[in-house]
Amino acid sequence: MSSARENALRTIISSGIEPRPAEVFNADKNFGCDVFGLDVMRKRLPKAVFRKLEQIIRNGEQLDPSIADTVANAMKDWAIELGATHYTHWFQPMTGLTAEKHDAFIEFAGPGKVISEFSGKKLISGEPDASSFPSGGIRSTFEARGYTAWDPSVPAFVFRGERGGTLHIPCFFYSYSGEALDRKIPLGRSIHALSTQALRILRLFGNTSASRVYPVVGAEQEYFLVDRRLAMLRPDLMLTGRTLTGASSPKGQELEDHYFGAIPARVQDFMQDVEQRLEALGIPAKTRHNEVAPGQFELAPIFEESNIATDHNMLIMNVLKHVAASHGFVCFLHEKPFAGVNGSGKHNNWSLCDSDGNNLLNPGSTPQDNAQFLVFLAAILKAVHNHADMLRLGTIGAGNDHRLEANEAPPAIVSVFLGEQLEDVLNTIIGSEQALHGKRTPIEIGVSTLPPLPIDQSDRNRTSPFAFTGNKFEFRAVGSSQSIAPVNTVLNAAVANALEEIATELEAGVSAGSSLNDTLSELLPALFKKHMAVVFNGNGYSSEWPEEAARRGLPNYANTVEALEHSMDPSISDVFLRQHILTERELLSRHDIMLENYVKTVQLEARVLEDMARGSILPVTFQEEARTADLALKVKELCSESDSVEYGHFRLIREHNLALKAALDSLNSEISATAAIDDATIQARSVLNRLLPAMQAVRSECDALERIVERKQWPFPTYAEMMWTY
């Protein structure tokens, strides 16, 4: 066995890492203690300043410069009391990660003297160097100006370290010419568009008290943990987030004994540490459990407003990785770290609420509530049916391509699961003979009351990408490493567009003298009939579903490249432009960034795979070939048997070594050929159709050799060692 691998395993087996004693954390008392929230503001700001800031936060406005210095000084004093020495404008560039540059509070106050200062100007905006962030051609490399602006709707917080903390100010990130260079600005625009159109519907139903409508989101987060001493011996895991070679473990997930099993003590210690950090940051971590694959786990928070949930999910991913290191783990958020077992997703649970606290996807108990619910349901079905290609764009990525349509994830075909009972209701409204059993009497919209709908009815169909669960929709296709900003941006945009068209028709009917109920009775059956094609309650894994989906006209973009080839279709771009969420230039930039990211991701994986195979695997397998050749020769001399078991073993290794060498030469050629292509779309197609198959050919030979080479000689930790060692 390679000495590093042997030493790592011996250390883990002999001693392990004992769970650390944790301080007792009182969530009721300490929740949000590291957050500059409303309660802290109320205590530390003058009453007039607090009221103005509270109004700014509630209405999603920019900070008033007249109160900026007062707010900044109070924030600085509070942060220093918590041990903060620096501040940072924390933003989300188009890398898909978060970014931060730390500046100390100190300023010179005379020769040899410093004081802590933080001005309103520094709070409101910053100017990080934007030259190395993806811009998709919005700005040239030499045009380095990028600006951050505080997003007051998300509270500032202190992120603590071992030797102090840093005040994090959540920000937007934009270019010198004003275009969005991040994922938060389009998300905020989509929320505004959704609110504008949803309020039109509420006004038609007589609601004059609600001042806004906002999406709420609960994003479940799945992840893998691998002992750091083993992970560090896997260049593929450390450089790409997934294993590029690796024979299946003799025991995987087939016994289904890991899912919801007893949490290992060391892992539970890690989870408790994570939860305490999150709760101090005001993130309501609710659920923890073992997931399906060995070494896989899940954390789920309570629902929050979409923009806050997005920031908090990025923080959750940061905290998971940060805390894992202190527990001797490496946390992997990649969608498919290990082949042959379940990958990791991020189920995006999405609903709509108004400022009065009403869930607009709750059917309610009165005919009017039912009618309003049906309007919003019709808008969502219309949005998903008309813009399934947009929603697919919210889930694309080289990592998620390995997960979608596998046995643990929904297919790439975006459809809606409603459950038999609600589908029956809609068929009855349509007047369809498909209504179950033919027993339901016609429903008069605005007059009849809907039957009670079980909240958990749709959780039983785990093959649906977009499932109704009683008062929310669960979008299951999002990848575990992905920001939830893109998927919620496209979802908000599509629903806003549908609501706008429905509101226009309803307003026209009412203006023409019809009652709202009469207008609804004419419009809703037509809408449901037109868009029921997107409703599918069956098995999304069945071989018949793609054929049926094609007959229904539903798009099936099986991978990132196919989806991106449609990202600039008028059916998509018109929605973003019409709802003022992205400009044409911003749309083009995102298309280019996503293409470039896909190509670079796979190219990196290919280079790492070639390096591992040539530099570590082939030397070992060549040695094994020589050893078995010598053994076969000795057996032949002693027994005069040319077809001995030993000779058969030598021949098998020899065949795989030759095949691996040929596959590596082919991979090297494909790496060079792909890199030489200038056109991004053609390059991405080459990566998909040529580079990935070449990588798979190399992997197949490596995995075959791993199964037959003497185990102690294999240079890398195995699947069994990584997934089952705690």
- pLDDT at residue 444 in the model: 66
pLDDT along the chain (726 residues), means of 10: 69 60 66 94 95 87 88 96 95 91 84 83 82 73 75 93 92 89 96 97 96 96 96 96 95 80 91 95 91 93 94 97 95 96 93 95 85 95 96 94 78 90 88 52 63 51 82 93 97 98 96 93 94 92 91 94 94 95 95 95 98 96 90 73 78 95 97 95 97 98 95 93 90
d(CA 493, CA 487): 10
Joined together, the tokens standing for residue 241 give: 């987030």
- What is the phi/psi pair of residue 180, to 5°? -70, 125
Region of residue 164 (phi > 0: left; psi between -120 and 50: alpha; otherwise: beta): left
Residues in the chain: 726
719: Cα separation from own chain's centroid: 25
Q: Return the closest-CA partner of residue 390 out of 216, 564, 190, 592.
A: 564
Q: Return the closest-CA partner of residue 507 out of 496, 499, 516.
A: 516
- What is the phi/psi pair of residue 227, to 5°? -55, 130
d(CA 374, CA 393): 27
User: By three-state DSSP, how is residue 630 classified?
Assistant: helix
Joined together, the tokens standing for residue 362 give: 């709750």
- pLDDT at residue 16 in the model: 52
DSSP state of 345: B
Type and span of the H or E element at 213: strand 213-219
Type and span of the H or E element at 10: helix 3-14
For 558, other C-beta atoms within 10 Å of its C-beta total 15
Evaluate whether 606 touches 667 at the Cβ level (below 8 Å). yes
- pLDDT at residue 233 in the model: 95
> What's the pTM?
0.92
Q: What is the pLDDT of residues 326-383, one digit of tens each?
A: 999 999 999 999 999 999 999 999 999 999 999 999 988 878 888 999 999 999 999 9
- pLDDT at residue 458 in the model: 38
Q: Return the closest-CA partner of residue 82 out of 161, 169, 158, 168.
A: 158
d(CA 104, CA 81): 15
d(CA 338, CA 248): 9
Q: What is the pLDDT of residues 89-101, one digit of tens each?
A: 999 999 889 999 9
Evaluate whether 197 touches 499 at the Cβ level (below 8 Å). yes
d(CA 95, CA 92): 8
